[in-house]
């Protein structure tokens, strides 16, 4: 196995592991210490990414490696195995363990496990400001004595205690720390039997916490318990979740329309300038059209359509994540996934899929069971991503929403879209149940689902994580696959065979089969050519109907409605387009992610075929049942 690559500036750089439970502020400490001097790489043989960044103090240079958040090192998942292996490796010269001051007892479980692995440990008791608000006192000096390793109280959001923390980290890296020998003896006496060891560590953590933590207000979490009664109760949990889903989509739809038009105008004007400048070079007209009518138009369409909704959706998603709501979503849906033969963590990957299905596929790494991880990967495509929203919103608004004020139209579109999303979510239950009883038989696994305390999101971190780590990352992958697609589309639309282009020949070939699905050849070919990015399906469709050799968008939905009606669209055609948008193959970016995560051609093909067969079957059934009423 190849060694994990550490990006050192010099041989004297000190490599430090950064470990901790989820939701303890570990990433906040990492970001404050390293700023934006960060890189990400995968542990050899694993798909788990490890972020690393550089920090310095008093002339000492550190490379901090941010390990996956984990509750234990029992190696039940890839994240736990990677964290354990890195801490034990010769690469790591010390380990900084971040704990939550408001939940110290639970966090000490991981601290004790790490102390068993290495003596070079420093404990950061983070969120001391929150503990103070909740009137929780922690005797840091006594905790340090009991553990035998340096303990520093910190508040990453207020940048408190970080310099002292790094001083202790340097001392630990030089071997100047040693765990309490009595503690080590107690840990050693627990033996190797996993159940007894876990129970023993929990008892030790409880006793240490009892000696060092004082609660001056036993009702400190009253507000959180009241809020949880609303967000996680059987009667209110699901309705509130649907309402929040509705609000998120409404903000996304209403907010993205103007910026998308603005970007389209900017790209149009820029394209004209670039085209005029290129014409001066005297290159062949075919090359000019290939570059601009092909590649440039496709790329500008993808960026103009994807960037605004992702720029709205991902920050809202990250706000809910930082606030602590997403684990409540998993809690609410866990019973449904249990009945489907999988676990509630799939709900978290499903939420990621709303922004990008490829992100949802990668997010399935949080699921411990390989069987359930594959189920989550295969079914993630049933959640419409941002790339499919333009198709759904356009068709819904044109055919199923009463034309009126922009506010009423956006609200009506959002209601209809929310119903479609709920159908997609229900589909993940059905297909998960089918896979659990056929190809992926097995009992649903249990998992420890922590309901973290509610916290005020940090706007700076939200913007960095949502815009840089998610929006631009996903957009970059979409652009990379859309550029070659632009070439293929241009060639098909401009190479003539007889009196018709290759594009027209293909639509004619597909039309008989498409009619069985309640569609036509142009619609089906647009979906096929939209494999690299769903954002280009509508422009390709318009191009085919208008017999143009270049992609374009109409100036208004009214123009688009007239064009579609003139080519035989009915309410049934629109309904089938919506259903096929929900149920059809994943985009190429998602398929590539599926292969990288599963390392399996078989499961990549299955992930392609299941939604495709569903899409073809559902549209054919709809056409058979309702076609007679037209």
Kindly write down the DSSP assignment for every residue of 138-163, as one continuous string.
E-HHHHHHHH-S-EEE-BGGGTBSHH
Which of 44-48, 102-106, 164-168, 274-278 reaches the highest mean pLDDT?
164-168
The yes-or-no verdict on residue 58 having pLDDT over 50 is yes
pLDDT value at residue 435: 92
210-233: average pLDDT:
82
* Contact predicate 125/138, CB 8 Å: yes
pLDDT of residue 594: 93
Predicted pLDDT of residue 507: 93
Is the pLDDT reported for residue 379 higher than 80? Answer: yes
Q: Which pLDDT does position 44 carry in this prediction?
A: 42
Q: For helices 537-545 and 502-516, what crossing angle results, to 10°?
A: 110
Binning pLDDT at 50, 70 and 90, where does residue 251 land?
confident
Dist CA 47 CA 40 (whole Å): 11
**Separation between Cα atoms, residue 371 and residue 490, nearest integer Å:** 42
Res. 40 pLDDT band, cuts 50 70 90? very low
For residues 239 and 361, give the distance between their C-alpha atoms in angstroms, rounded to a whole number.
26
State the chain's mean pLDDT as an integer: 83
| Top-confidence range, 104-113, 271-280, 281-290 | 104-113
Q: How far is CA 156 from the centre of its chain?
A: 25
* pTM for this model (two decimals): 0.74
Q: What are phi and psi of 41, to 5 degrees?
A: -145, 165
Instruction: Decide which of 560 and 141 is more confident.
Output: 141
- Please determine, for residue 46, whether its predicted confidence score (pLDDT) is greater than 50: no
**Cα 429 to Cα 75, 263, 375, 426, distances in angstroms:** 28, 38, 10, 5
Q: Give CA–CA dist 128/106, Å, rounded.
A: 16
pLDDT at 564 over 70: yes
Dihedral of alpha carbons 616, 619, 624, 625, sign: positive
The pLDDT of residue 41 is 44
**pLDDT tens for each residue of 388-429:** 887 888 888 888 875 555 666 667 778 888 899 899 999 999
What's the mean pLDDT in 16-24?
88
Of the chain, the percentage scoring pLDDT greater than 90 comes to 28
**Cα 439-440-442 angle, rounded to 5 deg:** 135
Residue-wise pLDDT for 488-504, tens only, equals 888 888 888 888 889 88
Task: Between 601 and 32, name the one with better pLDDT.
Answer: 601
Question: How many Å apart are CA 558 and CA 523, to the nearest integer?
Answer: 19
Q: What pLDDT, on the 0 to 100 scale, is given for residue 477?
A: 65
Domain boundaries along the sequence of the chain:
14-220, 237-629
Distances (CA, A) of 260 to 279, 282, 401: 28, 33, 21
In order of 88, 283, 526, the CA distances from 31 in angstroms are 24, 49, 43
Tokens representing residue 452 in the block: 């973290």
Query: Do residues 592 and 478 lie in contact, with contact meaning Cβ atoms separated by under 8 Å?
Result: no
Range with the lowest mean pLDDT among 148-162, 381-395, 447-461?
447-461
Q: What is the pLDDT of residues 451-464, one digit of tens each?
A: 777 777 777 777 77
Residue 342, pLDDT score: 87
Task: Please check whether residue 169 is in contact with residue 57, taking contact to mean a CB–CB distance below 8 angstroms.
Answer: no
The β-bridge partners of 97 are 19, 123
Question: For the CA atoms of 309, 423, 603, 599, what is the dihedral angle to 10 degrees?
Answer: 30
Give the whole-angstrom CA distance, residue 139 versus residue 481. Answer: 55
- Token pair for residue 595? 């292969």
The pLDDT of residue 39 is 45
pLDDT exceeds 50 at position 47 = no
Residue of 13, 322, 12, 26 lying closest to 165 (CA atoms): 26
Q: Which CATH architecture has domain 14-220?
A: 3-Layer(aba) Sandwich (3.40)
Kindly give the residue spans of alpha helices, DSSP state H, lying in 452-546.
459-463, 472-494, 502-516, 521-529, 537-545
pLDDT average, residue stretch 91-108: 91
121/363: higher pLDDT: 121
| SS3 at position 234 | coil
Q: Pinpoint the alpha helices (H) of 154-296.
A: 162-173, 181-188, 194-212, 222-231, 237-279, 285-289
What is the reported pLDDT for 551?
61
Cα separation of 339 and 354, whole Å?
A: 23
């Amino acid at each position: 196995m190849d060694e994990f690559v550490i990006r050192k500036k010099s041989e004297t750089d000190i490599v430090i592991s950064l470990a901790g439970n989820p939701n303890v502020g570990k990433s906040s400490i990492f970001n404050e210490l390293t700023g934006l001097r960060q890189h990400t790489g995968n542990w050899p043989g694993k798909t788990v990414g490890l972020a690393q960044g550089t920090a310095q103090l008093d002339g000492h240079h550190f490379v901090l490696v941010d390990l996956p958040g984990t509750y234990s090192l029992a190696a039940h998942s890839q994240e736990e195995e990677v964290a354990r292996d890195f801490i034990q490796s010769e690469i790591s010269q010390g380990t900084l363990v971040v704990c939550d001051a408001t939940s110290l007892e639970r966090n000490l479980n991981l601290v004790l496990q790490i102390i068993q692995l290495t003596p070079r440990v420093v404990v950061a008791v983070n969120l001391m400001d929150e503990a103070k608000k909740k009137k929780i006192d922690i005797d840091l000096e006594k905790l340090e004595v009991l553990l035998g390793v340096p303990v520093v109280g910190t508040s990453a959001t207020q940048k408190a205690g970080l310099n002292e923390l790094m001083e202790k980290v340097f001392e630990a890296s030089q071997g100047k720390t040693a765990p309490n020998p009595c503690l080590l003896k107690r840990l050693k006496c627990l033996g190797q039997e996993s159940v007894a060891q876990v129970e023993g560590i929990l008892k030790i953590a409880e006793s240490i916490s009892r000696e060092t933590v004082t609660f001056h207000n036993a009702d400190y979490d009253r507000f959180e318990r009241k809020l949880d009664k609303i967000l996680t109760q059987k009667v209110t949990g699901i309705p509130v979740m649907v309402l929040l889903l509705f609000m998120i989509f409404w903000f996304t739809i209403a907010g993205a329309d103007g910026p998308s038009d603005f970007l389209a105008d900017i790209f149009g004007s820029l394209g004209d300038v670039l085209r005029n400048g290129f014409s001066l070079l005297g290159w062949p007209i075919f090359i000019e059209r290939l570059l601009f009518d092909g590649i440039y138009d496709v790329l500008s369409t993808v960026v103009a359509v994807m960037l605004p909704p992702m720029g709205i959706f991902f920050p809202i998603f990250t706000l809910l994540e930082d606030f602590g709501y997403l684990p409540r979503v998993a809690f609410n849906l866990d019973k449904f996934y249990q009945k489907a033969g999988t676990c509630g963590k799939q709900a978290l990957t499903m939420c990621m899929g709303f922004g990008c299905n490829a992100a949802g596929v990668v997010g399935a790494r949080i699921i411990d069971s390989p069987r359930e991880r594959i189920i989550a990967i295969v079914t993630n495509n049933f959640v419409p991503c941002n790339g499919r929203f333009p198709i759904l919103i356009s068709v819904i608004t044109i055919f199923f929403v009463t034309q009126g004020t922009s506010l009423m139209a956006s609200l009506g579109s959002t209601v209809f879209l929310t119903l479609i999303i709920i159908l997609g979510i229900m589909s993940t239950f059905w297909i998960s149940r089918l896979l659990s009883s056929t190809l992926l038989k097995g009992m649903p696994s249990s998992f420890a689902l922590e309901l973290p305390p509610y916290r005020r999101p940090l706007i700076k971190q939200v913007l960095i994580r949502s815009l840089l780590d998610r929006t631009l990352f996903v957009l970059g992958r979409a652009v990379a696959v859309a550029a070659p697609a632009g070439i293929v589309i241009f060639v098909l639309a401009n190479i003539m065979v007889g009196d018709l282009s290759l594009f027209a020949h293909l639509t004619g070939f597909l039309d008989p089969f498409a009619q069985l699905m309640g569609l036509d050849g142009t619609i089906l070919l647009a979906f096929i050519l939209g494999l690299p990015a769903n954002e280009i399906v509508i422009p390709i469709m318009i191009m085919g109907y208008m017999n143009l050799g270049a992609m374009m968008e109409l100036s208004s939905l009214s123009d688009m409605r007239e064009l579609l009606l003139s080519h035989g669209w009915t309410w049934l055609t629109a309904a089938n387009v919506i259903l096929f948008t929900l149920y059809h193959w994943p985009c190429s970016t998602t398929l590539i992610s599926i292969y990288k995560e599963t390392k399996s051609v078989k499961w990549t093909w299955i992930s392609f075929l299941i939604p495709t067969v569903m899409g073809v079957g559902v549209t054919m059934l709809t056409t058979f049942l309702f076609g007679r009423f037209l």
